[in-house]
Structure 1
């Protein structure tokens, strides 16, 4: 065996070992997460929990837990809302000029587009519009008499 073949064999063996090791750790990791999930999932006895006698009590327990959770987080929620409002106000103040300039450009653009649309519409329907206008004038003149 020459040196190159030895290097190749060593590399193949090392890669095979690495692959085997990785598969082992991935398998263990999956098993570990599955056992954690199994431990976390609480099994319910639906016969006792959902019968008419215990159902109302169970609902009250759930409501109480949810209320406690919200009450515990109330200060954090209020703080986040206040921070959001503050950030929003700062952003508004910071970008006021840029936004006003954008709004102005947007209105001008829309105004031009509307003018162009009206011009094209009038050109397309010129005969029909003029005919309607003549009819209206005749009706108005007849109504005045």
Structure 2
């Protein structure tokens, strides 16, 4: 195969992919359009008289939905906590070993970073330390 033929094949495959993608998009769009939604009369529903009632109705519906799922949500949260705890217990030694290796590996880089940070922010750090000392003297003396 030469380069021109590879380019042609690539272009054909790209076009067929785009065609499939477009068909899928149009199919899902048609499904969405088939769903009939109830028309909202904004002037009637959201006028001054009905606005607060409509908001209360929406809040009530949302609260009912959350309340109906409350047990399931709590169960999932507890299950997740238990899984996480078990995972950490199981991999504690690996994690500690990794942290130790990482610190050893990055020891020099961290020292250099701290040196550079202190050099850049020396004035700010010294000012903060001076301020703390003043506060401690005023509290003690």
Aligned residues: 92
How far the C-alpha of 1:43 sits from its partner, in A, is 1.0
SS at match of 1:52: coil
**In 1, distance between residues paired with 2:109 and 2:71?**
50
Q: Deviations over 1:53-87 (max 9, x none)?
A: 00000000000000000000000100110011011
1:102 aligns with 2:101: no
In the other structure, the counterpart of 1:113 is 109
**In 2, distance between residues paired with 1:29 and 1:111?**
55
Query: Which runs of at least 4 in structure 1 moved beyond 2 Å after TM superposition?
Result: 27-34, 112-115
In the other structure, the counterpart of 2:88 is 92
Q: 1:96–1:49: structure 2 CA closer, same or farther, 3 Å change rule?
A: same
How far the C-alpha of 1:108 sits from its partner, in A, is 1.3
Alignment of 1:59-70 (within 5 A): 59-70=55-66
Residue of 64, 78, 95 corresponding to 2:74: 78
Q: Which structure 2 residue ranges, 5 or more long, are not aligned?
A: 1-22, 117-141
**In 2, distance between residues paired with 1:29 and 1:95?**
44
**In 2, distance between residues paired with 1:67 and 1:29?**
31
**In 2, distance between residues paired with 1:35 and 1:84?**
39
**In 1, distance between residues paired with 2:29 and 2:103?**
59
RMSD of equivalent CA atoms: 2.8
TM-score, structure 2 length as denominator?
Answer: 0.56
**In 2, distance between residues paired with 1:30 and 1:100?**
52
How far the C-alpha of 1:112 sits from its partner, in A, is 2.7
